[in-house]
Amino acid sequence: MLSIRRLQLGPMANFVYLVAPAHTDRLAVVDPGWDAAAIEAAAEAIGRPVTDLILTHHHGDHRNAVEALLDRGAERVWVHRAERPWLQGLGWTDHCHWLDGGDRIELGPGAALTCIATPGHTPGSQCLLGDSERGPALLTGDTLFIDGCGRCDLPGGDPAAMYHTLYGILGNLDGQTRVLPGHDYAPAAEAALDDQRRTNPYLGFASVQAFVDYRMRPRR
């Protein structure tokens, strides 16, 4: 069982999640960006030091507090293997554990996050699925937002892969799963996946091409 606490940090309205498993002293931070001091203060309120850093993808706004948190005692960084080339040159990749889709990050007895490979926004984007105190929870990074989805026009982006991710991979998940996105881009901070299937315009396309055309429409 996982207790999940959300922080909103930085100039891009990033959501940073503190994931505290029961029956262990480990504490994971998903997408540690912008403000190591604020993350550490939240960890102190929980009563544990940060031990694990988990990245949904390589973009700087989701990992620019990694180095500071490693300096303050965090032990390891979990990233999908396909993000490795994009992290080259950073000083902390020796701390990385490289994941494949289906791998589990075991945080404690009966407390794990399962990695789901969800390419599209970046080649190694991943969502993390776990059993939270409020039911199944899916940490989606920049793959799925509340009533939106991640851009596919940045380096490594692939809108056809995003279609397969949203419809083929995430399409199989339990509708009661809570979507916990990587940015605060909507009036609601989270929503059930079934609600998103009704209201999210990116989940309403009947063909890959229609989805790709909409996702890649010129930005205003």
List contacts with Fe ion (CB under 5 A): 59, 142
- How many whole angstroms separate alpha carbon 70 and alpha carbon 42? 16
Residue 21 or residue 119: which is nearer to Fe ion going by CB?
A: 119
Residue 60 or residue 73: which is nearer to Fe ion going by CB?
A: 60
Least distance (Å) between residue 154 CB and Fe ion? 7
Residue 24 or residue 64: which is nearer to Fe ion going by CB?
A: 64
Least distance (Å) between residue 47 CB and Fe ion? 31
- How many whole angstroms separate alpha carbon 163 and alpha carbon 28? 29
Least distance (Å) between residue 183 CB and Fe ion? 8
Locus of tokens 């419809």:
167
Exposure string of 67-98, with b = 16+ CB inside 10 Å and e = fewer, is bebbeeebeebbbbbbbeebbeeeebeebbee
Least distance (Å) between residue 59 CB and Fe ion? 4
Q: In sequence order, what are the residues at sequence separation of 6 or more whose Cβ sits closer than 8 angstroms to the Cβ of residue 112? A: 104, 105, 106, 130
Q: What are phi and psi of 128, to 5 degrees?
A: -120, 125
Residue 111 or residue 115: which is nearer to Fe ion going by CB?
A: 115
From first CA to last CA, the distance across the chain in angstroms is 42
Least distance (Å) between residue 104 CB and Fe ion? 24
Looking at the chain, list the stretches that DSSP marks H as alpha helix, in order from N- to C-terminal side: 36-46, 66-71, 159-163, 193-199, 208-215
Residue 59 or residue 80: which is nearer to Fe ion going by CB?
A: 59
